[in-house]
Amino acid sequence: MSLRNLLMPYKGLPREIYILFIGKIVNCIGAFVHPLMALILTQRIGMSASEAGQYVTMVAVCQAPCIMFGGKLADTIGRRKVIITFQILGAITLFICGLIEPSILTAKIMILSSCLYSLSTPAYDALNADLTNHSNRKSSYSLLYMGVNIGFAIGPLLGGFLFKNYLSLIFIGDAITTLISLALFIIFVKEKKGNIEEENTIEEKNNLEEKIEGSTLKVLLSRPILILFPIILLLYQFSYSQWGFAVPIQLGDLFGPDGAKTYGILGSMNGLIVIISTPILTTLTKKHNILNVMSVGGLLYGICFFLIGAKSIIPIFFLGVFLLTIGEVLIAINSSTFIANNTPASHRGRISSLIPLISGTGYAVGPMIMGGIIDVQGIFTGWMVVSMTSIIGSILMYNLKRFDASSKSVVFNRNNKN
C-alpha cells in the first residue's frame, strides 16, 4: 500500500478540518497535565492510589453537568462562542496551577480547569459534524484523531522529563499551547451550524441527520441505539481509563520517580503508532461495518490488559501498548462517525454531550474502582477485571448491529432516488 493511497482519504476535506488538525497537534504537544495527573496526585501531592482514584473520579463527576450544559449552549448560542470562552478560562486556571506549590489546592484547581475545558467538548464535536457529511465524515474524524496523536507522540515524552524538576512548566506549557491552538481556531474557523441539508448531495444524504423538532428525550426514544451504544462504550471507557491511571501507578511502583519517564516513552509510542496506523486502518476498514470494527478494538483492549496483568515486564508493556493503540484507533475513528451518522443536525450539541456523559461514566469510575482493587486485592486482580470488562464490551458491540439503521438510511435514500 503506497503512501499516496494511504493519504487519499484525507484529500478534498473541508478547509476548516485541516485547520482543526493543525490546532490539535499544537494543543496536544502541550497536553502535559492530564496524562500525568495520577503521578502528580500520588508523587507530588502525596495521595495514595485509592485517594488519587477518588480524585480522578471526582474530576469526571464534576465534568458531567458541565458537558450537558456545554451541549445545550452549543445548540443555542453557537459552537464558536462556547469553544472560545471556556478554552480561555481553562488555560487561565492551568497558569494558576503553574504559579503555586503542589498541594490539595492545586488538585482542586485542576478539577476546575477540567470542568472548564469540558464545557467546550460538545461544541467541538457538534462543529466537526457540521463541517462534514456522510461521505467524508469518517476520513475527517480520522484526520483529527491523528492530529491529536501526533501531538501526544511528543507531549507525554516532554512532560515525563519535565515532571521531576520542572512541574510548573507542565501547567504553564499546557496553557500556552491551548491559547496558540485557539488563536488558529478564532482566525480560520467560522460558525457553520447544522448545514447538513445544503451540503449533502442526494447520493450522500442520510435521513437520520435531518433536523427535527422536539426534545433530546424524543430523539433518544426514537433511536434506542443512541442509548445502547454509549452503554457499551462505558465498558470500553472503564478499561481505557487504566491507561492513564493504573499503568503509570504500576510503573511508578516498579521504577520510582523514573516511572514517569517510562510512561512518557510508552505514551509517545502510543502516539507514533496512532500516526502510522490511523490512515492504514481507515483505508482497510472503510467498507466494513463500524460496529464489527469497534468490536475488534474492544477485544484488543482485553488482550492488552490481560498481558500486562500476567507479566509486568517492560517488553510486555510495549506489546500491550501496541495492542491497546490499535484497538484505540479502531474505536476512536468509528465511534464519532457512528454517533454523527445517527444524530439529527438540530440536536448535535445535546447528543454530543449526552453520549460522552453516559460512556464517560466508565472512565469516571474506572480509577476509583481500580484504585480500591489495587489497595485491597493487588494489581493482578485489577487487570483481570479490566480485561474481562473489555471482552464483554466487545461481544455486546458485535451484537448491536441488529439496532443499526445508519447504513440503511443512506441505502434508503438512494433507493428512493431510483
pLDDT per residue, tens digit, the chain (418 aa), is: 566 777 888 889 999 999 999 999 999 888 888 878 888 998 899 988 788 888 887 887 888 889 889 988 998 898 999 999 999 999 999 999 999 999 999 999 999 999 999 999 889 988 988 898 878 888 898 899 889 878 877 887 788 788 878 889 999 999 999 999 999 999 999 887 554 444 444 344 556 666 666 677 777 877 888 889 999 999 999 999 999 888 988 888 887 777 878 888 888 788 788 888 989 998 888 888 899 999 999 999 999 999 998 887 888 999 999 999 999 999 988 998 888 888 887 788 788 788 877 888 898 788 889 888 888 888 889 999 999 999 999 999 999 877 765 444 443 344 444 4
Q: What is the 3-state secondary structure (H, E, C) of the chain?
A: CCHHHHHHHHCCCCHHHHHHHHHHHHHHHCCCCCCCHHHHHHHHCCCCHHHHHHHHHHHHHHHHHHHHHHHHHHHHCCHHHHHHHHHHHHHHHHHHHHHCCCCHHHHHHHHHHHHHHHHHHHHHHHHHHHCCCCCCHHHHHHHHHHHHHHHHCCHHHHHHHHHCCCHHHHHHHHHHHHHHHHHHHHHHCCCCCCCHHHHCCCCCCCHHHCCCCCCHHHHHHHCCHHHHHHHHHHHHHHHHHHHHCHHHHHHHHHHHHHHHHHHHHHHHHHHHHHHHHHHHHHHHCCCCCHHHHHHHHHHHHHHHHHHHHHCCCHHHHHHHHHHHHHHHHHHHHHHHHHHHHCCCHHHHHHHHHHHHHHHHHHHHHHHHHHHHHHHHCCHHHHHHHHHHHHHHHHHHHHHHHHHCCHHHHHHHHHHHHC
| Rounded distance between C-alpha atoms, residue 181 and residue 269, angstroms | 23
Q: Which residue reads 488555560 in cell numbers?
A: 91
Torsion of CA 355, 129, 336, 87, to 10 degrees: -70
Tell me what pLDDT residue 184 has: 96
| Rounded distance between C-alpha atoms, residue 245 and residue 228, angstroms | 26
| Rounded distance between C-alpha atoms, residue 127 and residue 9, angstroms | 20
Instruction: Tell me phi and psi for residue 393, to 5 degrees.
Output: -60, -40
The model's pTM is 0.74
Tell me what pLDDT residue 26 has: 93
Domains defined for the chain, CATH in brackets = 15-417 (1.20.1250.20)
Residues in the chain: 418
Tell me what pLDDT residue 409 has: 45
Integer-rounded Cα radius of gyration of the chain: 21
